[in-house]
Amino acid sequence: MKALKFQPSDAMNRLPDQFFSGLAGKVQRKIEAGYDVINLGQGNPDKPTPAHIVDALKREAENPLNHKYSPFQGRRELKAAIAHWYKQERGVTLDPDTEVAILFGGKAGLVELSNIFLNPGDVCLVPDPGYPDYWSGVAMAGGVMEMMPLREENEFLPDFSQISPDVARRAKMMFLNYPNNPTGAVATPAFIEAAVKFCRDHEILLIHDYAYGAIGFDGVTPPSFLSHPDAKDVGIEVYTLSKTYNMAGWRVGFALGNADVVRLINLYQDHYFVSLFGAIQMASVEALTASQQCVYDLCAMYESRRNTLYGALHRIGWKARPTPGSFFAWLPVPAGYSSASFADFLLDEAQVAVAPGVGFGVQGEGYVRVGLLVDEPRLAEAAERIHKLRLFE
């Protein structure tokens, strides 16, 4: 008998193509063909989770209490721990009971937010270039994206004065992300002030993606948007343990700030999940409340890698200003190439994988993103392989 063919929903058909799955496939095919590929195109932390956090998971996994369903909206101990971290590390006060929602990773939360707050046709302001999963959530909800260009001449910060009055009037939600993926830019207090004021003036829900919030260089701590006294009035910040503690596979994130938004996130998730595995939650408490030396050491490692990479690139003639935050470098492509053709050229001719900037939006054209996620000798080797192509002479 012939199998029935089932048609996906309109929401599924609206989903954008997964640009980076194609890149991953190209890299994998090179590796399978026997090439030694230096993969700088990924965004996956390369170091293990610190041992004290793993040890906490082992202990908690043996506790029968954690073999049961966790409370629907997560353990209060974990919410209190994130409030403790924000107070200790960023000077921000949060009410664990009303201003903290536990997420199944930051990505899931960012996609959920569009489904919670956007109706079909509602406008969402989105950074360009930016994290592609913002697009996914807006598409699922049937929303309309209005792009905010991030340009080098403006330090890769959106210029709110360039948003038309009509778009500002119709916008319901805005995504921002600092330290920024892919550009590595860091927000300033003046920019945070401008963003909060713009969203208040136009009644726009501000969502700040703070995934790389622990990774700042040259003595600068990337500011939390919640450090602004009015930030909770206009929105939330999404934080994750993935980058701060090399816990990407653990899928632990938080939405923090506006109590009404937190309440609606909890309500939405009540219909999907029964919270994270309790042992992961309690190990996350350990991460947030124990010594943060592992975080400071991690940030220092990324800064050293950044300095090694940019030093090597400058020596071969590839000039770019070092990024001030995140674990990415954002580099201009040489004349005669698009971002995609240059990425293909480096993979084919040097076996160095980078991410084409166009995969992050139209404004990403002309750049490639390079991850600081291999050790310094491999970064130096990547630069030397590129040097042999004589692109920058």
- In sequence order, what DSSP letters do the residues of 80-147 get, joined into one string? HHHHHHHHHHH-----TTTSEEEESSHHHHHHHHHHHH--TT-EEEEEES--THHHHHHHHHT-EEEE
CA distances from 358 to 20, 59, 130 (A): 11, 45, 10
pLDDT tier at 17 (50, 70, 90 boundaries)? confident
Question: Which pLDDT does position 20 carry in this prediction?
Answer: 75
Q: In whole angstroms, what is the distance from residue 83 CA to residue 122 CA?
A: 32
Q: In whole angstroms, what is the distance from residue 372 CA to residue 307 CA?
A: 10
For 76, the enclosing helix (H) or strand (E) is helix 76-90
Question: Which pLDDT does position 258 carry in this prediction?
Answer: 98
Q: Lowest-confidence range among 271-280, 294-303, 309-318?
A: 271-280
Inter-helix orientation angle 106-117/133-141, to 10°: 30
Q: In whole angstroms, what is the distance from residue 323 CA to residue 330 CA?
A: 7
pLDDT tier at 21 (50, 70, 90 boundaries)? confident
Q: In whole angstroms, what is the distance from residue 199 CA to residue 366 CA?
A: 30
Do the beta carbons of residue 150 and residue 128 sit within 8 Å? Answer: yes
pLDDT tier at 22 (50, 70, 90 boundaries)? confident
Q: Lowest-confidence range among 17-31, 295-309, 375-389?
A: 17-31
Residue 233 gets the label, from left (phi > 0), alpha (psi -120 to 50) or beta, of alpha
Do the beta carbons of residue 17 and residue 213 sit within 8 Å? Answer: no
Question: Which pLDDT does position 274 carry in this prediction?
Answer: 83
Cβ-Cβ contacts under 8 Å for 325 (sequence gap 6 or more) = 178, 179, 180, 184, 185, 186, 212, 215, 216, 217, 220, 222
pLDDT tier at 16 (50, 70, 90 boundaries)? confident
Q: In whole angstroms, what is the distance from residue 46 CA to residue 48 CA?
A: 7
- State the average pLDDT over residues 171-194: 98
- Which tokens is 124 given? 């969402």
Nearest to 156 by CA among 329, 337, 338: 329
For 193, the enclosing helix (H) or strand (E) is helix 189-202
Q: Which fold has domain 51-289?
A: Aspartate Aminotransferase; domain 2 (3.40.640)
- State the average pLDDT over residues 78-103: 98
Domain boundaries, the chain: 18-47+294-387, 51-289
For 284, the enclosing helix (H) or strand (E) is helix 278-289
CATH class of 18-47+294-387: alpha beta
pLDDT tier at 15 (50, 70, 90 boundaries)? confident
Q: In whole angstroms, what is the distance from residue 121 CA to residue 30 CA?
A: 42
One fold for 18-47+294-387 and 51-289: no
Is pLDDT above 80 for 18? no
- Which tokens is 262 given? 């937190």
Beta-bridge partner residues of 149: 128
Question: Which pLDDT does position 306 carry in this prediction?
Answer: 98
Q: pLDDT for 37-60, tens place per residue?
A: 999 998 899 999 999 999 999 999
Is pLDDT above 80 for 158? yes
